[in-house]
Each structure stands twice: as structure tokens, then as C-alpha cells.
Amino acid sequence: MSTSSEGRIRAIVGLMERAYGPVEPRAPSPCLDTLIACILSQHTSDANSGRAFASLRERYPTWRQAADADEDEIEAAIRSGGLARTKARTILGVLRTVPRDRGEPDLEHLCSMSDGDARAELIRLPGVGPKTAAIVLCFAMGRPVLPVDTHVFRVAWRLGLIERRIGEARAHEALGAVVPSDLVYRFHVSLIRHGRGRCRAVRPDCDGCVLRAECAYIKP
């Protein structure tokens, strides 16, 4: 990563934090909790996925109890999160595949592994792809691994940090190579804020945008 690239990314994060407020450090959470919450968050709002996760934990206080439940029961518990049938199948696949610590499904052994080995083990789980694995590494384990969702990808290519044609899957590696490790979490959250609030997929609000001077998308 060049010094100029690092300086530009630091400037972009600084501009977004002045516009949207500082990104607060995230408290670590159990890896399996984060993984299940991520599965529930797919194709729905944070509010809906949060309700689904709370409902699931209320009905099944331990992951062992959830792993032993029927698919229909899991589906009923997470219905508020949308796509309940598909997500119930994925959640049960994960819970019945991960190692057990004294009978309880658990992923905390990942914390003693390298980023690459932990990512590889996560991706071997049913329904877990690169983005979900990166979220567990970044959010649960505090590793400098950048998750790239649709908002991060869109804002990044509009800023000219990556090429649009590489797609979201390859963007994890491309952005990970240019974002300084100490900025990974703040960069991720800042781009999501900006993508949701102003740099929308359709009709982005470019007038008065704090990143206008940095944006390749609106330049002739």
C-alpha cells in the first residue's frame, strides 16, 4: 500500500466521521453468536434481524437446545427476520457442524488461529461465505479483516478505491490490501453509514456530499 493511498483513506474516514460522528469501538462477542446474528441479518433490516435473534435466544437459551430443535421450530422463532425457512436450515446446519465444548456448540477455538485458518474453517460451514466469515473475524474477534457488503462495495468503487468490475467477492481482498489495519473497522462502519444515508444505489445525493472532492463517480 502506498503512502498516498493510506493518506487518502485516512482522510476519507476522517471526513465521514466528522459528518456522521466517530465510530465507537465494538465490544467483542462470542464467535457463534456473531455468526448466527449475521445469518439472520441477510436480506433484512437491522431491526428485524435483531428481533429474530432475540426471539431465538429467548426460546433457546443455549445453542445446544437450538441445535436439537426441529427446523420448523427454529423457523417459527426467527420468522420476524424474513426468509425464515432458508435461514433456519442454515442455522441448524451450522449448529450441528461446529465443534462442541462439553456438549455446547462453540467457535471460540477460532481465536487461537491465524486469520487465514479461521477464515477457512468458517467458510467450510454450511451457508458461510467470505463476507460472513469476515464479519466474524472483524466483529467478534477484533481482527483487521474487512467485510465488504453492498454498501461498502458501492461507495468504494465510486470513490475509485477499487474497480467496479471486480465484484463484491474479490473486493474483500482488494480493499483489504489498501485499508490500513488500524482503520478496518472504522472504514467498514463509515462506508455503510454513507452508503445507507447518502451514497445510495439509486439517485445518490451528491449535492453537498462530504466526499465530493474525493469521489471519482461524479467527476467528468
Phi and psi at 105, nearest 5°, equal: -55, 135
- Measured distance CA(78)–CA(88) in Å, rounded: 8
Neighbour-count burial of 98, counting CB atoms closer than 10 A to its CB (0-12 exposed, 13-18 middle, 19+ buried): buried
Which residues are identified as catalytic? Answer: 131
- φ/ψ (deg, to 5) at 55: -65, -40
Give the position of cell 446446519.
Answer: 93
CA distances from 117 to 68, 112, 137 (A): 28, 10, 11
